[in-house]
Structure formats: structure tokens, C-alpha cells
Homo-oligomer: A and B are copies of this chain.
Amino acid sequence: MKNLTKRAFKTELFEEFARIGKALSSGRRLELIELLAQSERTVEELAAETGMSIANASQHLQVLRSARLVDVRRQGTYAWYRLSDEHVLRLWLSLREVGEMQLAEIERIVEDFFKDRKDMEATTCEDLLKHLKTGSVVVLDVRPEQEYSAGHIRGARSIPVNELEARLKEIPKKKTIVAYCRGPYCVLADEAVAILRAKGFNALRFKGGFPDWKARGLPVERAIPP
């Protein structure tokens, strides 16, 4: 009898944990998590950025919500979704790391898509932190401004990549420029570096993204309090 209840306990307990696994078992939902790791967003925005129908995005968000990975805040007719806890970001980064380490397919897919990245040097967290301290580089956040406002690397300037060409004069020609965006699978920083180099700047891409930086407990800043 004790064994029976022990089995029931374990089954029930692990089935609960599996709710989180189930929430992570869809590529679409992982994409939503990756976006929400940048800043909170409405259903409409999330649907548009992931190419899903709104009803489908809403449904996926509710799966995430029932696993308590995301929270909603309602304002007027909008529902603003966000990750419910910083542990959720760590969980996603941890999953991403396992994927990068173990699944050869991921490396192949990424290399296929970013054909030019191989010969584009990138900076690590440690490097960047060191350079930031000495003030020897300019760090550029090239994500949309909303995401910058929601949180960015301390000391970084916001120039969204689509405004970059028009705002080149704000950038000092003599310093090294380090551009960052959402993370390793985001093209924004690559585009920014390409533009900057074409104009004669000495530009580098930061390997990670803002969420990676934040999850390591490195210094961040935000325009609007949470």
C-alpha cells in the first residue's frame, strides 16, 4: 500500500512537471518565448512576428499561461503577455544550450542561414564587459526601440537597425562599434554590422543577445520601470 501511494505520488508529481515540458514542446511556443524574452508584447504583435493567425497565437499563449510560463496584463482591449519569471528565461536558455550542444541539425540550420557569419568576428560577454568598463567601445542596441526601453545592456545606445543609415553621424568613427540584438538567431545585429562596415566603421557583432546578458546577471538598465 505504501508502495502504491509512492508510485501515485511520483506519477502525479512528474506529470505536473511535464506540463512545463508540454508547453515547451512546440516550435511555435518556443518562438513566442524567445520574443517575450525581449519585452512584453500583445497577441497581435506576437502573431505578426511569428506569422501565425491571431487565434492560433492566442491559443498557444494560453498553453504557456496554463503552464505558468507567461503572464498577461490587460489594458483596454489589449492583452500584454510577458514571461512570468526570470527562471523561465533561464529554462529557455538552458534548453537552447542543450540543443546547441547536442543537436547537430541546429548547427547546420544556423550555418546554412548565416552563411557570412563565419568570417564575422563576434564578441563574448566577458570581452564586452571588459571593453565597456574601459569605455573603449560603443555598444549599439539595434532592436526596435520598445525592446530597448524594456531593458538593455547598461551603457548601450539605441539605434534600431532600420534607422541606422539615417543616424550614422551619431556614431563616433574612431571607436570600435559592438552591435547586439535579440540573440544568436536574430539577424538585426548582422545587418547593422554590414551597414556599418560598408560605411567604413570598425564594427563587431556581440554573440549573444540582451536576454543572455541579463540572465548572466550582468548590468542592465531600463527606461520604463517594470
A200 near B: Cβ within 8 Å?
no
The one of B27, B102, B110 in contact with A11, judged by C-beta atoms closer than 8 angstroms, is B27
**Given the interface contacts A12-B109, A84-B102, A85-B102, does A25 sit within 8 Å of B22 by beta carbon?**
yes
56-77 of chain A: CB within 8 A of chain B: 67-69
Q: State the interface size on chain A (CB cutoff 8 A).
A: 55
* Segment with Cβ contacts to B, from A92-100, A132-140, A146-154, A164-172: A92-100
Copies of this subunit: 2
> Which residues does chain B contribute within 8 Å of A197, judged by CB atoms?
none
A131 near B: Cβ within 8 Å?
no
How many angstroms from the CA of A98 to the CA of B112 in the assembled complex?
34
The one of B85, B87, B95, B187 in contact with A91, judged by C-beta atoms closer than 8 angstroms, is B95
Complex contact A24–B24 (CB within 8 A): yes
A101 near B: Cβ within 8 Å?
yes
* Nearest 8 CB-CB pairings of A with B: A21-B24, A68-B102, A14-B27, A15-B27, A21-B25, A25-B25, A18-B27, A22-B25
Q: What are 20 A-to-B residue pairs whose CB atoms are below 8 Å?
A: A10-B185, A13-B113, A13-B185, A14-B27, A14-B28, A14-B34, A16-B99, A16-B106, A17-B96, A17-B99, A20-B98, A21-B22, A67-B102, A68-B102, A87-B94, A87-B98, A88-B102, A90-B94, A90-B97, A91-B95
Residues of A within 8 A of B (CB): 5-7, 9-31, 34, 50-51, 67-69, 84-85, 87-88, 90-91, 94-99, 101-103, 105-106, 109-110, 112-113, 185, 187
10 other A-B residue contacts (CB within 8 Å) besides A11-B31, A14-B31, A87-B97: A7-B51, A13-B185, A16-B99, A16-B109, A18-B24, A18-B27, A87-B94, A87-B102, A88-B102, A91-B97
